[in-house]
Structure 1
Amino acid sequence: MKIVTELAPGVNDDVTAVFTFKLPNGIAARLPNLRLAASVGAGADGILSASDLPASVHVTRACDDGLGLSMAQYVVLQVLRVFRDLPTLERQHASGEWIRLPIRDATKCTVGIMGVGQTGSVVARTVASLGFRVVGWTRTARDESDFKIYSGRETLPEFLGQCDFLVCLLPLTDSTRGLLNRSMFATVRKGCYVINAARGGIVVEDDLLAAIDNEELSGAAVDVFDQEPLPQSSPFWRHPKILVTPHSAAQPAVEPVVDQFIENMRRLSTGEPLMHVLNRDLGY
Structure 2
Amino acid sequence: MTSSDCTDTEAGTLYVVATPIGNLEDISARALRILRDVALIAAEDTRHSIRLLQHFGITTPLTACHDHNERDESARFLARLQAGDDVALISDAGTPLISDPGFNLVRHVRTAGITVVPVPGACALVAALSAAGLPCDRFVFEGFLPAKAVARQTRLEQLKEEVRTLIFYEAPHRLLDCLSDLEKLWGHERPALLARELTKTFETLKGAPLGELRAWVAADRNQQRGECVLLVSGWQAPEDEDALDARTLKVLDLLLSELPVKRAVALAAEITGVRKNLLYHVALEKKAAASDRPQAAGKSEEGA
In the superposition, the TM-score normalised over structure 2's length comes to: 0.29
In the superposition, the TM-score normalised over structure 1's length comes to: 0.30
Q: Which structure has the greater CA radius of gyration? A: 2
